[in-house]
Each structure stands twice: as C-alpha cells, then as structure tokens.
Amino acid sequence: MKYPKQQSVAGAWVKGAEVQSGVRCKLMSETTHMTSQFKDEKTGETKFQDVAKVLFSGDPETKNISINRASINGLVDAFGEESGDWQGHVLTCETEKMRV
C-alpha cells in the first residue's frame, strides 16, 4: 500500500480553554491550508484546516492555531487576500463557548 507524505506542523498548539477573551496576539506566519486529523463522517474524506503560528501577549513561544472560516474572512477584509500580508498584525482574541 502506498502512503503519501503528509504535511505536519511542528510545535505546540493553542488550547481554546487557555485563551481568555481580550488577550492580544500577533500573527507570526503565513496561514497554510493543510490536511486535518479529522475525516468527514459522511464521505470518509480527510478534512482540511487553515493553520498559522501566533504569539500571545506574555507567552515566550509561538503556537499553532487553526483559524476558522469566519476569522479567515475577517482577516481578508482587514488585510487582503494574501495571508503573507497578515503577518505581524496584532489581533485581539474573542472566545465563545459552543455546544458541539
């Protein structure tokens, strides 16, 4: 069986429970569209996610974050379609509890 090489992201990931609304963070990398560890329940196909590195205020190291579609659209409206242009901008995080 042939296995294709998959993209991976090194480093720690942001944990939603550890982020408080109002905290500031800076986008430190371009956003990359890559395969996720999750599969579509209906089709069995691998899902995709948009991942970038961020640096939170007071945190010494960058962390990986999966950016949702609503946030991507907001970044496009604010800084343009090229994710490289989003780097270096300071953002304010807003968390929202959801039932899944």
User: Residue 83: which of 31, 48, 25 has the closest Cα?
Assistant: 31
Query: Is residue 67 pLDDT above 90, yes or no?
Result: yes
Query: Is residue 6 pLDDT above 70, yes or no?
Result: no
The number of distinct structural domains making up the chain is 1
4, part of any domain = no
Provide the residue type at 85 as one letter: D
39, part of any domain = yes
29, part of any domain = yes
**pLDDT of 2:** 55
85, part of any domain = yes
pTM: 0.80
Which residue range is the domain that position 68 belongs to?
19-92
